[in-house]
Structure 1
């Protein structure tokens, strides 16, 4: 009897119909495959941050920031699309796993092409990006075949992604001048962002709010880990020279306090609350898309801390003010993004609602004073203290 059961079990594991999962499913957590996906994609995040550091330390500020924003979009958009699809249709069978591994391979190809992209050659990044997106098309076509209720939505996704990828490839093959290419890039980004909105308007997919919030939270954790790694490596290299040890230790302490504060502030409010309370397409899209600023700014803080080490060890070509801004601007963007997406300007606790934007303004102002990074760390820690005491007082009064 056992010999008859095992083949059936293997068949069920090998292939399952790709139907929508229950959006209220209990104990829905990230799978090992999703965690592997995140770890591989953070390699691309690290590559983008490293090249941004190289550009900034040589004084190429405008070019470095623009290239970083473009490359980071390719990384983030591939991650985002997989995460939302998996929340609604993850079957964890062999075809699904293989398609996901192809997407991971595309993400690693993007990582391999980051250096060239910062030098103006986006061909390798384009190959990896198209590989990710076409693998995503196969997933949507499979969903369209297995789930009649959401077939129209799935086909709109598949068709929209394919159409935009054709535009990306045409753009790469034609090779427009740099100024025109930048405009076309912006247009194609808008097209990419429009595909989910158009497809979801045909019938929403059954993504899981708690699962999505966890996926975003885990990626935020990994990015913050990359920040710690970048800053630690930079401090280690600076200390190995035997000079500026006291300054670098103080900078390392400030950087650690800053990262700890960013972690605390992001996870202070449960991420799924916004998705549950405001389930409209516009609110969901703004929450999901807005995390581009959270992820990109968090990763850029690591670059800023590396640059601060270079400045203190006299290995940088840019001024002290510019060095400070490379840290304070991403921190301010991070605070404002978390405020808008998690806290809310109309938060019932007014101290918290006002504290985030006020701290962001003070962080930017700290750029023009002495020890800007240390002051930024103190301000971020003070905001953490404010949220703790304000929340505690509200709980006691309740």
Structure 2
């Protein structure tokens, strides 16, 4: 990326009232880069879609159709996550905040709302039309942004932008299989098209690497994690509130307390390490960014699981206590294990720190078999993991300080 394009974009970022400017790359070393108000608003609009996906997962699991619900949830959440992720990385590299950029982003937000409206039909009647339409609106708008980059760029960067635009548009043709082919073939359409979508950035950036900003990307992912965890808290609160009037609060208190401990621990372990220092290349960033599908999806599924646990406790979900407990513990364990694999292990020193999150995931799974106390036990196991992690970090820091002090005294 040339310094001229970086400086042009930096100066462009200081002209928020311009109607149309060249969409040129921002500098990767740009100081004080933070999420913009438009990006925060964009994230909030995704809450609607996440809430709808979680609610439909609750209905499916509570009705004893967990396999069907999980499959549809995985498909819907991919559409939500992939559209969000592509916008996030593009904005990190090219956000110039002109009027046209804002209007195209507004079109993407409209696509999110259409997609959210299509989530219930996709779960209940296998009608993917509205879901497909919302996704296409978002992705075509994204291709439009890449065509703007291609118009402003030259050489390898222009090739990269055209590959992005062409790949995105070609994939939308493939996604029509979800509405044209029989229901039995749609799972295979989904698998093939997910692979195709994931390959577009890998292919496009062989020509040129986008100048995404490590601090900005880390902040954007962190903010979206908070939004997803917040939706989990909201879902659990609604479930408890709906049951309090007709049932003993004492029955629900272990679930509410355990759920709060799980969500608080999930927040704590995510932000315990400064991940931006690990994002030094596309190879590292792609693995980390793609892997967040499991982190985001499992975090949102925790909220759905808490709702299922409440409904089972009050008798409105006709499933076993074991199944209701698993609806909470399994996504919690997946969250902890995926977070360790993608995010935390690079900053852990020594075997004790390295095995902490995998061990916590195993303990949470074991809590599944504790009956009515499963959710509370999982919350306590998660909280103890946080305490253990803080203790181990403090002890290591103290030993390091003591070693430095001894070395200083000797010299």
State if a TM-score over 0.5 links the two structures: yes
* Aligned residue in 1 for 2:144: 138
Cα distance, 1:16 vs. partner?
1.8
Residue 207 of structure 1: SS of its match in structure 2? coil
Counterpart of 1:229 in 2: which secondary structure?
helix
**C-alpha separation in 1, matches of 2:245 and 2:272:** 37
Contact residue 352 and residue 390 of structure 1 kept, 8 A: yes
Partners of 2:16 and 2:97 within 8 A in 1: no
C-alpha contact 1:64 1:118 (8 A) present in aligned 2: yes
**Are residues 1:210 and 2:211 paired?**
no
- Whether 1:391 aligns to 2:398 is no
Say if 1:110 and 1:128, in contact at 8 Å, map to a contact too. Answer: yes
Cα offset, 1:174, TM superposition:
2.7
Instruction: Give 2:310's aligned residue.
Output: 309
- Residue 10 of structure 1 deviates from its aligned partner by 7.9
What is the Cα deviation at residue 369 of structure 1? 2.4
| SS of 2:279 mapped into structure 1 | helix
CA distance in 1, matches of 2:154, 2:352: 49
Partners of 1:343 and 1:21 in 2: how far apart? 29
3-state DSSP of counterpart to 1:13? coil
What residue in structure 1 maps to residue 406 of structure 2?
none
Deviation (angstroms), 1:309: 0.6
Tell me whether 1:175 sits opposite 2:177 in the alignment.
no
Does structure 2 retain, via aligned residues, the 8 Å contact 1:14–1:95? Answer: yes
1:246 aligned onto 2:247:
no
Q: 1:269 aligns with which of 240, 255, 273?
A: 273
CA RMSD of aligned residues (A): 1.5
After TM superposition, which residue ranges in structure 1, 4 or more long, deviate above 3 angstroms? 9-12
Name the TM-score, length of structure 1 as normaliser: 0.94
Q: In the alignment, does 2:160 pair up with 1:148?
A: no
Give the Å deviation of 1:352. Answer: 2.0
In 2, the alpha carbon distance for the partners of 1:284 and 1:134 equals: 24
For 1:240-295, what per-residue CA distance to the aligned partner results, in whole angstroms no more than 9, with x for missing partners?
Answer: 11x2211212321111111111100111111212213xx2x332111000000010
Give the whole-Å Cα distance in 1 for the aligned partners of 2:105 and 2:362. Answer: 42
Per the normalisation by structure 2, the TM-score is: 0.91
The aligned runs of 1:62-211 (5 Å cut-off) are 62-119=67-124, 120-149=126-155, 150-169=157-176, 171-176=177-182, 178-211=183-216
Contact 1:324 1:367 in 2 (8 A): yes
Is the partner of 2:319 in helix, strand or coil? Answer: coil
Look up the match of 1:348. 349
Cα deviation per residue 1:105-156 (whole Å; 9 max; x = unaligned)?
0011100110001021111000000000000011000001112251111000
Shift of 1:341: 1.2
CA distance in structure 1 between the aligned counterparts of 2:17 and 2:38, rounded to whole angstroms:
18
Query: After superposition, what is the alpha-carbon deviation per residue over 1:326-366, rounded to whole angstroms, capped at 9, x for unaligned?
Result: 11110011001110111127832432210111111111111
Contact kept, 8 Å, 2:178 with 2:186, in 1: the verdict is no
**1:372 Cα offset (Å):** 1.2
Check whether the contact 2:178–2:190 (CA below 8 A) recurs between aligned residues.
no
Deviation at 1:69, TM superposition (A): 0.5
* Partner of residue 377, structure 1: 379
Unaligned runs of 5+ residues in structure 2 are 1-13, 401-411
Give matches, 1:53-64, under 5 Å: 53-64=58-69
How big is each residue's C-alpha offset from its partner over 1:195-243, in whole Å with a ceiling of 9 and x where there is no partner? 00111111100000000010000000001110110001111111111x2
Contact 1:274–1:341 (CA under 8 A) maintained in structure 2: no
Inter-partner Cα distance in structure 2 for 1:274 and 1:324: 35
Q: Indicate the residue corresponding to 1:333 in structure 2.
A: 334
2:27 aligned to which of 22, 30, 33: 22
> Which stretch shifts more, 192-201 or 361-370?
361-370
- Matched residue SS, 2:369: coil
* SS of residue in 2 equivalent to 1:64: helix
**Equivalent residues, number:** 384
Residues 31 and 345 of structure 1: is their aligned pair in 2 closer, same or farther, counting only changes over 3 Å? closer
